[in-house]
Structure 1
Amino acid sequence: MHPETEASFAELSTTVRAFRRRIAATRRGARLARLLSIQQLAEWGVPRGSDASDTAALIVAELAANAVVHARVPGRDFELGLLLRAGVLRIEVTDTRADKRPMVAAPPSPDAESGRGLLLVTALAERWGVVEGAPPRKTVWVEVGV
């Protein structure tokens, strides 16, 4: 077998696991997104309470909260997507406010009650970004190792 063929075969044999769910853009929906991500990861073999599960749950909680608080449009849901492939988990949260792009600001003052979410995501993520979708959608994605 040629090395190129072996690499191609290895890529094809990699298991890809995917989960996608539309969720009401409410505070309860943001909580549900976090709980669903923990459950789905457990079904894929990432134990509850592990560093990987806790990190993913924290990131999902932040992205879902941002979708609900900053990008909510009454009557429109947000979407949670999880993709696990070759030890990398990609978390995606899609909302209907492409005009509200997340930005990492300067660290807030120590007594501030908000403004740390994306700083936390940045610290935990291997990489993250924003992709515009079909108007008026955008997807915030984060990749972490599991």
Structure 2
Amino acid sequence: MNSETAAPGPVPRPTNPTGHFTMRFSSTPRGARLARRLAGQRLDAWGIPYDCDTHHALTLIVAELAANAVRHGLVPGRDFRLALACDAVTVRVEVTDTRTEAVPVVATPTDLRDTGRGLLLVEHLADRWDWHPRRDGPGKTVWAEYVLPPAAGRPAAAPSCRSSTAAPGPR
């Protein structure tokens, strides 16, 4: 993104106040990567630009949930599904896989393992998250909701979007 298209300040409200995106992906690392990239494009199209903290947080949530679906929810020959829903206040991310086992417990920050911290990131970045059994077949859906920062003119509750050439503000 160039500096002419990104204005510093609070993240703008999505230009399309409601949006839905759903797609199935192969349960492979390549499928998880594609899910993250397409989610990023969709968020940008909805008015949440690439070069802002909100976009980065949401794409990281998608990346972690998709990676978990590939690593822990894999049933050979079955895909996972990514669904995004956006309104003027909240973005909801849902990742559905076909494995019926419950979502593992979130790792603690003091856990010394090299893996298993993806849900800890999701818990930190999302305002709410949980999981439920899949409604349309075997498996489960892990979801996370991210409340968008206030519109311009009101105090921001989250870091603002910045152009790629702007100096980072205080955090």
TM-score by length of structure 2 reads: 0.73
Unmatched 5+ stretches in structure 2: 1-15, 149-171
State the match for 2:92 in structure 1.
90
Per-residue deviation, 1:85: 1.1
Write the letter of the residue equivalent to 1:130.
W
Give the Å deviation of 1:35. Answer: 0.3
Q: Which residue of 2 aligns with 1:76?
A: 78
Q: Give the length in aligned residue pairs.
A: 131
Distance in 2 (CA, whole Å) between partners of 1:102 and 1:92 is 17
Instruction: Tell me, in whole angstroms, the C-alpha distance in 1 between the residues paired with 2:93 and 2:137.
Output: 21
- Stretches of 4+ aligned residues off by more than 3 angstroms: none
Structure 1: which amino acid aligns with 2:115? S
The one-character-per-residue Cα deviations of 1:17-63 (angstroms, maximum 9, x if unpaired) are 10000000000000001101100001111100211110011000000
In structure 1, what residue type is equivalent to 2:103? R
Give, in angstroms, the shift of residue 90 of structure 1: 0.1
What SS does structure 1 have at the residue aligned with 2:130? strand
Aligned residue type for 2:88: A
- Look up the match of 1:27: 29
Q: 1:140 aligns with which of 139, 142, 148?
A: 142
Q: For residues 104 and 50 of structure 2, what CA distance do their matches in structure 1 show?
A: 28
Q: Aligned partners of 2:33 and 2:95: how far apart in 1?
A: 13
More strand by share: 1
Match of 2:49 in 1: 47
1:65 equivalent in structure 2 = 67
Superposition CA RMSD, Å? 1.4
User: 1:63 aligns to what SS in structure 2?
Assistant: helix
Task: State the alpha-carbon separation in 2 of the partners of residues 79 and 137 from structure 1.
Answer: 11
Shift of 1:135: 3.3
Shift of 1:136: 1.0
2:120 is the alignment partner of 1:123: no
Identity %: 50
Change (3 A) 1:144 1:124: same
Contact conserved, 1:70 with 1:100, CA < 8 A, in 2?
Answer: no
2:164 is matched with none
- TM-score normalised by L of structure 1: 0.84
Q: Which has the higher contact order (CA 8 A, sep 6+)?
A: 2
CA deviation digits over 1:82-129, x for unaligned, max 9?
Answer: 0001220000000001214232133321xx321211111101110001
- Structure 1: runs of 5+ lacking an equivalent: 1-13
Measure the CA separation in 2 of the matches of 1:15 and 1:52.
16
